[in-house]
């Protein structure tokens, strides 16, 4: 029996943004280890497709729609899930979008969507679900999607970077709050490196300035060429969450490199700078 099966089999997992990308990979893996997976997404069609894949592989899954940018939607989701299942063993606040563009060129609607989905979706996911978890009185897990971008900087990916720095900080404080309150709820910060998903696909940036299409294509090509397989990354993620690790990295060497760079930046209090190889790539 794997550590994931030992900790999670028979429990209920709720995963936001699970209709695609890392969320869908974690959902499939949760189904494989014996969880009942509540696949949630803003798209009912995508959610049902992933749920059907899990059921087709012999697992248990339910599809529900939710717009994580709206706190009331997360309250509704939590109420529905606990009314139907009684408890949630694993909550993965995964839903997020990538936004590319100079800070002053990104339309207000895209800025608001990025902040509301990537930050408020995580915060209000916790706010909506944790009281139910506490009331259930059982051991549970909360995992929030950060990024190696939580420790880095990148021009024209400013909106995304800001949100991931925020998620990392929120998760660190949440971990300490669980300790202080002596609750049996484990907190993990999931830090994907390069994982092969659709996050940099062209249609994902339809609301962005047209001038950023080239940057999105560069990031798409880098991920396609060197990204980690989604299924493999999802297995690593769920295994480390089951081990009660706070730091959950798909590619630890990437995480360590970004953190070391951040440490040096803060220690030296130098002006922000871009690695020369990245500068050459972006300016080519």
Token couple for 1: 């029996």
> Of 25, 50, 27, 13, which Cα lies nearest the Cα of 233?
25
37/55 Cα distance (integer angstroms): 10
Token couple for 207: 């609301």
Residue 280: CB atoms within 10 Å? 10
Q: Count CA within 13 A, CB hemisphere, residue 240.
A: 23
Q: Which residues contact 199 (CB under 8 A, 6 or more apart)?
A: 21, 97, 98, 223
> Of 195, 191, 218, which Cα lies nearest the Cα of 205?
218
225/221 Cα distance (integer angstroms): 6
Pairing of strands 60-65, 36-41: parallel
Asked if residue 171 lies in contact with residue 151, where contact means CB atoms within 8 angstroms, the answer is no
Active site residues: 160
Residue 24: CB atoms within 10 Å? 26
Asked if residue 218 lies in contact with residue 282, where contact means CB atoms within 8 angstroms, the answer is yes
Token couple for 41: 């997404």
In terms of C-beta density within 10 A (0-12 exposed, 13-18 middle, 19 or more buried), how is residue 183 classed?
middle
């Amino acid at each position: 029996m794997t550590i994931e099966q030992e900790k999670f089999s028979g429990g209920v997992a709720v995963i936001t943004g699970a209709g695609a990308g890392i969320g869908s990979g974690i959902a499939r893996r949760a189904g494989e280890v014996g969880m009942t997976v509540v696949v949630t997404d803003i798209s009912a069609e995508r959610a049902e497709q992933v749920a059907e894949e899990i059921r087709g592989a012999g697992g248990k899954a339910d599809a529900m729609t939710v717009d994580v940018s709206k706190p009331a939607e997360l309250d509704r989701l939590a109420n529905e899930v606990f009314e139907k299942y009684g408890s949630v063993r694993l909550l993965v606040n995964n839903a997020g979008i990538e936004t590319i563009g100079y800070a002053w060129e990104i339309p207000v609607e895209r800025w608001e969507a990025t902040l509301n989905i990537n930050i408020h979706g995580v915060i209000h996911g916790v706010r909506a679900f944790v009281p139910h978890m506490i009331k259930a009185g059982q051991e549970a897990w909360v995992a929030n999607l950060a990024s190696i971008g939580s420790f880095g900087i990148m021009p024209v990916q400013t909106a995304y970077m800001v949100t991931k720095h925020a998620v990392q900080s929120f998760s660190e404080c949440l971990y300490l709050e669980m300790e202080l309150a002596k609750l049996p709820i484990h907190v993990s910060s999931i830090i994907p490196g390069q994982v092969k998903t659709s996050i940099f696909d062209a249609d994902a940036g339809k609301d962005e300035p047209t001038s950023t299409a080239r940057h999105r294509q560069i990031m798409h090509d880098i991920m396609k060429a060197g990204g980690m397989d989604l299924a493999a990354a999802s297995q690593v993620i769920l295994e480390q969450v089951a081990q009660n690790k706070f730091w959950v990295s798909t590619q630890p060497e990437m995480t360590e490199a970004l953190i070391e760079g951040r440490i040096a930046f803060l220690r030296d209090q130098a002006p922000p700078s871009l690695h020369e190889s990245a500068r050459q790539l972006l300016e080519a």
